[in-house]
């Protein structure tokens, strides 16, 4: 008992309270955002070539890049002001209201948990493909990925994101090495873009193919908004979050452009659109065993980094719901020694394992993308309300994004196009998911909200919004 | 080698999962629920940021 009391004293920061630990800097924010996303360059984006051809994959790379630049700018402004775990959930709670916040938190948990599942399946399948051993299944590798990363997250956020920084940097550098190894300045030596992408096959399905390609174009950047989940654990949220998020977005735009250029110059679009390993295949096609093995390892590291960041983010969103009693407050426990939301991490662990063992990659990816796009649609509305209720000058912002309301309008329009693209490919899943969120909203409104301490949930020391 | 690696993955997963369950039990029986769930949103924000322009 004496030990317990001593531990309590040495591990709390606000009297007898246990809080998440503020130890992160901009590099960790970068590692969280880019770590979650970079796996999309190693698999996922290339399915857009199957929908609309190689040129469509490039067009959506740019246009979806615009969508995510808007996301990063909007997110940076709001999060630099609402610096709380839960990210977009905390934003929605303060700016729109509890029902929107509850839905946004579910979008976040679904998007990140399903992305974690996809990463684990990808990692398992990649190892099985490399081994080529009969009877070897991916289950053990999936289990190890999810459990080891959950353990890492359980033990502390600083080590978790230090690991993410290192493995994300290695995976990123491997793309740069591949790019410069194929003499990108000399067409014809290794790269054959002018032979593989011709006016005849650049857009095989015309412009409707470009629209359809949006569904998988999201994979170039899906998850960069996850940086906001670290808001309560960064030392200087107003500086670190905008800096880390914007640096991450710039990094990803460069990686996406290099990835498309190398892959489209080495593989015909018919193959590029169906392979699960575009960058690993590109490494093989160079004929260099060193590059092949480097890209194999980088694919594994990218999947690990993404799953690691997803566990971090999903747990914080779930933890925030518990802290506000939108879910039982039992989930809001913080580990007194490691300062992590340990019950949320442990609760989501078997759910991720179950989905990883029973779902296939396509289903998991689709659920993740759908939840992500729902969240982006909310963000475009959220920033309009934020600027209207608290105009510039009324509260202190760590970052103010330029050209408002243009980024919000661009983001909303691109979300509508992406919904249409998803409807073309996965219409029934889209309708089922919207129905699920509608029903869960009814449950929250008519049953769960009675348990919420209504005054306690709004914590930002802001003036009253304009018009209230 | 790959089959051995596969068994090693199962082993590591089981050991770490058991360790987390043990630690969870230890923490929950050592500390009161009030302490464990005492985190409040925006606490540092309220202390350090006054939102004065």
Residue B44: per-residue pLDDT: 52
User: What is the average pLDDT value for chain B, to the nearest integer?
Assistant: 84
- Say if residue A7's pLDDT is above 80: no
Q: Which residues contact A159 (CB under 8 A, 6 or more apart)?
A: A152
Q: pLDDT of A65-88, one tens digit each?
A: 998 999 999 988 998 888 788 889
A405 prior amide bond cis, ω within 30:
yes
Residue B46: per-residue pLDDT: 43
Chain B residues touching A463 at Cβ < 8 A: 51
Q: pLDDT of A334-365, one tens digit each?
A: 999 999 999 999 999 999 999 999 887 777 78
Q: Which residues contact A125 (CB under 8 A, 6 or more apart)?
A: A138, A276, A361
Chain A residues touching B41 at Cβ < 8 A: 84-86, 90, 232, 320, 323-324, 459
Residue A84: per-residue pLDDT: 83
- Measure CB to CB from residue B20 to each of A140, A154, A396 and give the nearest one: A154
Report d(CA A123, CA A36) in Å as an integer: 14
- Distance from the A18 Cα atom to the nearest Cα atom in chain B, whole angstroms: 6
Say if residues A33 and A244 touch (Cβ distance below 8 Å).
Answer: yes
Q: State mean pLDDT over A294-311.
A: 97
Chain A residues touching B19 at Cβ < 8 A: 151
Asked if B38's CB is within 8 angstroms of A16's CB, the reply is: yes
Q: State mean pLDDT over A428-455.
A: 91
Q: State mean pLDDT over A180-188.
A: 88
Q: Is A291 exposed, middle or buried (0-12, 13-18, 19+ CB in 10 A)?
A: buried
- Say if residue A280's pLDDT is above 60: yes
Residue to test with chain B: of A459, A462, A463, most B Cβ within 10 A: A459
- Say if residue A170's pLDDT is above 50: yes
CA A294 and chain centroid, separation: 24
The candidate with the shortest Cα–Cα distance to A242, out of A375, A72, A70, is A72
Q: State mean pLDDT over A130-148.
A: 94
Residue A10: per-residue pLDDT: 40
- Distance from the A231 Cα atom to the nearest Cα atom in chain B, whole angstroms: 10
Say if residues A375 and A225 touch (Cβ distance below 8 Å).
Answer: yes
Closest residue of chain B to A394, computed from CA coordinates: B53
The structure's pTM equals 0.91
Residue A9: per-residue pLDDT: 36
- Higher-confidence residue: A240 or A31? A31
Least confident segment among A58-72, B6-20, B34-48? B34-48
Closest residue of chain B to A328, computed from CA coordinates: B37
Asked if A148's CB is within 8 angstroms of B41's CB, the reply is: no
Percent of chain A with pLDDT over 90: 70
- The pLDDT-based confidence of A268 (bands split at 50, 70, 90) is very high
C-alpha distance from residue A353 to each of A59, A119, A311, B2 (Å): 36, 12, 12, 21
Report d(CA A178, CA A191) in Å as an integer: 12
Across-strand partners of A17? A14
Q: pLDDT of A385-411, one tens digit each?
A: 999 999 998 988 888 999 999 999 999
Q: What number does CATH give the domain A20-451?
A: 1.20.1740.10
Say if residues A383 and A352 touch (Cβ distance below 8 Å).
Answer: no
H helical segments located in B1-53: 2-30, 33-36, 43-48
Q: Is A204 exposed, middle or buried (0-12, 13-18, 19+ CB in 10 A)?
A: middle
- Say if residue A231's pLDDT is above 50: yes
Across-strand partners of A191? A187
- The pLDDT-based confidence of A461 (bands split at 50, 70, 90) is confident
User: What is the average pLDDT value for chain A, to the nearest integer?
Assistant: 91
Residue A36: per-residue pLDDT: 96
Q: How many CA atoms lie within 13 A of A142 on its CB side?
A: 27
Residue A468: per-residue pLDDT: 80
Q: Mapping DSSP to helix (H, G, I), strand (E, B) and coil, where does residue A17 land?
A: strand
Residue B51: per-residue pLDDT: 46
The candidate with the shortest Cα–Cα distance to A53, out of A262, A276, A260, is A260
Residue to test with chain B: of A126, A235, A333, A345, most B Cβ within 10 A: A333
Q: Is A149 exposed, middle or buried (0-12, 13-18, 19+ CB in 10 A)?
A: buried
Instruction: Count how many residues are written for chain B.
Output: 53
- Say if residue A5's pLDDT is above 50: no
Residue A15: per-residue pLDDT: 53
Least confident segment among A247-251, A273-277, A333-337, A461-465? A461-465
C-alpha distance from residue B26 to each of A78, B19, B30, B31 (Å): 39, 10, 6, 9
Report d(CA A447, CA A257) in Å as an integer: 48
Asked if A332's CB is within 8 angstroms of B40's CB, the reply is: no
Percent of chain A with pLDDT over 70: 97
Q: State mean pLDDT over B10-30.
A: 97
Residue to test with chain B: of A142, A149, A232, A325, most B Cβ within 10 A: A232
- Measure CB to CB from residue A143 to each of B9, B39, B44 and give the nearest one: B9
- The pLDDT-based confidence of B36 (bands split at 50, 70, 90) is very high
Least confident segment among A291-295, A336-340, B36-40? B36-40
Report which DSSP code applies to A462.
P
- Distance from the B3 Cα atom to the nearest Cα atom in chain A, whole angstroms: 7
Q: Mapping DSSP to helix (H, G, I), strand (E, B) and coil, where does residue A234 land?
A: strand
Asked if B2's CB is within 8 angstroms of A141's CB, the reply is: no
Q: State mean pLDDT over A244-254.
A: 94
- Measure CB to CB from residue B37 to each of A7, A85, A332 and give the nearest one: A332
Chain A residues touching B4 at Cβ < 8 A: none
């Amino acid at each position: 008992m004496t030990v317990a009391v001593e531990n309590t004293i040495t591990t709390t920061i606000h009297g007898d309270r246990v809080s998440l630990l503020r130890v992160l800097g901009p590099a960790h924010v970068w590692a969280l955002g880019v770590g979650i996303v970079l796996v999309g360059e190693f698999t996922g984006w290339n399915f857009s070539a199957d929908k609309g051809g190689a040129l469509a994959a490039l067009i959506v790379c740019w246009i979806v890049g615009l969508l995510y630049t808007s996301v990063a700018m909007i997110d940076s402004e709001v999060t630099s002001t609402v610096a709380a775990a839960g990210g977009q959930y905390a934003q929605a709670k303060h700016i729109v209201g509890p029902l929107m916040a509850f839905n946004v938190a579910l979008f976040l948990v679904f998007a990140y948990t399903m992305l974690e599942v996809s990463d684990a399946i990808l990692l398992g399948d990649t190892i099985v493909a490399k081994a080529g051993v009969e009877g070897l299944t991916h289950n053990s590798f999936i289990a190890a990925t999810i459990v080891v990363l959950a353990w890492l997250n359980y033990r502390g956020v600083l080590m978790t994101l230090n690991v993410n920084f290192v493995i994300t940097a290695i995976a990123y550098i491997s793309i740069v090495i591949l790019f410069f190894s194929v003499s990108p300045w000399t067409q014809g030596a290794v790269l054959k873009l002018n032979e593989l992408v011709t006016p005849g096959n650049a857009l095989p399905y015309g412009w409707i193919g470009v629209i359809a390609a949006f569904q998988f174009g999201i994979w170039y950047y899906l998850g960069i908004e996850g940086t906001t989940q670290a808001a309560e654990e960064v030392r200087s949220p107003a500086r670190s979050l905008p800096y880390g998020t914007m640096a991450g977005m710039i990094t990803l735009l460069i990686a996406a452009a290099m990835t498309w250029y190398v892959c489209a110059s080495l593989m015909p679009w018919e193959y590029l659109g169906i392979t699960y390993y575009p960058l690993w295949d590109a490494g093989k096609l160079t004929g260099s065993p060193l590059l092949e093995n480097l890209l194999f390892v980088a694919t594994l590291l990218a999947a690990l980094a993404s799953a690691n960041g997803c566990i971090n983010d999903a747990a914080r969103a779930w933890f925030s719901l518990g802290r506000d009693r939108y879910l039982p407050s039992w989930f809001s426990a913080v580990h007194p020694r490691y300062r992590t939301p340990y019950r949320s991490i442990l609760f989501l662990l078997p759910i991720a394992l179950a989905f990883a063992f029973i779902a296939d990659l396509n289903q998991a990816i689709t659920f993740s993308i759908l939840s992500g796009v729902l969240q982006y649609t909310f963000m475009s509305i959220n920033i309009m309300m934020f600027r209207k209720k608290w105009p510039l000058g009324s509260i202190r912002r760590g970052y103010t994004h330029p050209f408002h309301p243009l980024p919000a309008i661009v983001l909303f329009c691109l979300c509508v196009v992406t919904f249409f693209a998803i409807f073309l490919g996965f219409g029934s899943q889209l309708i089922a998911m919207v129905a699920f969120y509608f029903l869960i909203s009814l449950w929250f409104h008519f049953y769960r909200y009675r348990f919420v301490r209504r005054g306690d949930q709004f914590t930002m020391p802001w003036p009253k919004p304009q018009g209230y | 080698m790959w089959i051995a690696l596969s068994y090693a993955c199962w082993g590591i997963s089981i050991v770490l999962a058991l360790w987390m369950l043990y630690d969870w039990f230890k923490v929950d029986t050592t500390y009161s629920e009030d302490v464990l769930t005492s985190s409040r949103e925006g606490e540092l924000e309220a202390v350090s940021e006054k939102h004065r322009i």
